């Protein structure tokens, strides 16, 4: 089993010695920020013998609770992904209701930050991981700042963000900043082997050092196959392109397919990639606006055929 220390050990040397109130981890999507954040939570609650990089022991009661996904001193706060009707949210947001239960009218969050921090830690330190700090609304950020400045029971905040520039300056100024960088291809290959996965070249190239891609390699492989099939069908016939788009609609995963499509088009001339990317962006916007999926994918296929010169 691959651990965060295997892939981001030097970074954990710094986080293990951190005694401040807030860390801000930045880096590309799926680079492993959440894995590092969980490793930080483990470090600050571990009662066992530390590893070479100061990482948690992995065997003490706190580490076992974290591995089981039921650690009493860890709270993960994420943006709303759906609306009250169950549809995908048009705009991601961490509202003030995530911080204060009294402001969570729709009860979208089971545990709220303020109430979570009122309770003394079961082990050593309560840790709040904010996944997507760039999606903090101003009200939520201001409410969190009061807790960050004087955290109850010495709690630790770990903010995660893809783009430092998108995080509110008040959060940035009160946090120690660390960058989570992509790892080498050989390190990714070793991680796949430890997980019992074959380190095929396409998957490693797509991951580009982002360890988070390894969490669901089969879904990535499937999405890459779908992207190839659609792209190959574009030049066969109009009917073939529409049928491939219909098949993609049934399997479309917004977490993977947009990125695998762009990866599949990486060797195309710049003007082709630009037009194809415009078509993909239009598809995503149509789906977010709850337009007819069937019609949206048909329009997408027609636009792609034009982009690739098959119209």
pLDDT tens track for 130-182: 999 999 988 999 999 989 999 999 999 999 999 999 999 999 999 999 999 99
**DSSP 3-state percent helix, strand, coil across the chain (nearest 5):** 55, 10, 40
| C-alpha–C-alpha distance, residues 169 and 196, integer Å | 43
Do residue 84 and residue 13 come from a single domain?
Answer: yes
| pLDDT at site 195 | 79
| C-alpha–C-alpha distance, residues 264 and 276, integer Å | 11
Do residue 177 and residue 246 come from a single domain?
Answer: no
The vertex-199 CA angle with 197 and 203, nearest 5°, equals: 105
Do residue 154 and residue 265 come from a single domain?
Answer: no
Q: How confident is the model at residue 2 (pLDDT cuts 50, 70, 90)?
A: low
Q: How far is CA 37 from CA 4, 49, 242, in A?
A: 9, 20, 43
Report H helices in 49-157. 61-67, 113-118, 138-149
H or E element at residue 176? strand 176-179
Do residue 168 and residue 263 come from a single domain?
Answer: no
Running DSSP on this structure, what letter comes out for residue 88? B
User: Residues 55, 5: contact at Cβ < 8 Å?
Assistant: yes
Q: What is the pTM of this model?
A: 0.87
Which of the listed residues 181, 204, 229 is the one where a domain comes to its end?
181
Average pLDDT over residues 57-63: 94
* Residue 194 counted as domain residue: no
Task: Answer whether residue 9 shows pLDDT above 90.
Answer: no
Q: How confident is the model at residue 24 (pLDDT cuts 50, 70, 90)?
A: very high
User: Residues 163, 193: contact at Cβ < 8 Å?
Assistant: no
Using a pLDDT cut of 70, give the percent of the chain over it.
95
Average pLDDT over residues 32-56: 93
């Amino acid at each position: 089993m691959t651990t965060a220390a295997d892939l981001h050990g030097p970074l954990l040397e710094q986080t293990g010695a951190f005694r401040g109130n807030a860390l801000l981890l930045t880096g590309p999507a799926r680079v492993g920020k959440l894995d590092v954040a969980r490793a930080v939570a483990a470090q600050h609650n571990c009662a066992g013998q530390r590893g070479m990089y100061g990482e948690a022991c992995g065997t003490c009661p706190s580490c076992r609770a974290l591995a089981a996904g039921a650690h009493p001193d860890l709270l993960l706060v994420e943006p709303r992904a759906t609306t009250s009707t169950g549809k995908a949210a048009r705009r991601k947001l961490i509202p003030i209701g995530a911080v204060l239960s009294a402001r969570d009218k729709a009860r979208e969050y089971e545990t709220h930050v303020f109430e979570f921090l009122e309770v003394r830690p079961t082990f050593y330190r309560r840790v709040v991981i904010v996944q997507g700090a760039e999606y903090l609304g101003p009200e939520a950020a201001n409410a969190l700042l009061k807790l960050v400045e004087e955290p109850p029971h010495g709690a630790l905040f770990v903010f995660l963000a893809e783009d430092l520039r998108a995080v509110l300056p008040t959060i940035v100024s009160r946090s120690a900043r660390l960058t989570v960088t992509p790892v080498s291809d050989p390190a990714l290959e070793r991680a796949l082997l430890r997980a019992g996965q074959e380190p095929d070249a396409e998957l490693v190239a797509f991951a580009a050092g982002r360890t988070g891609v390894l969490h669901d390699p089969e879904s990535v492989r499937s999405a890459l196959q779908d992207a190839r099939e659609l792209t190959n069908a574009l030049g066969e016939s109009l009917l073939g392109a529409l049928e491939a788009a219909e098949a993609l609609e049934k399997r479309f995963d917004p977490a993977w397919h947009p990125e695998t499509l762009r990866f599949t088009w990486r060797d195309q001339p710049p003007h082709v990639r630009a037009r194809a990317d415009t078509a993909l962006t239009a598809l995503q916007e149509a789906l977010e606006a709850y337009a007819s999926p069937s019609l949206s994918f048909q329009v997408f296929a027609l636009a792609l055929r034009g982009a690739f010169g098959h119209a």
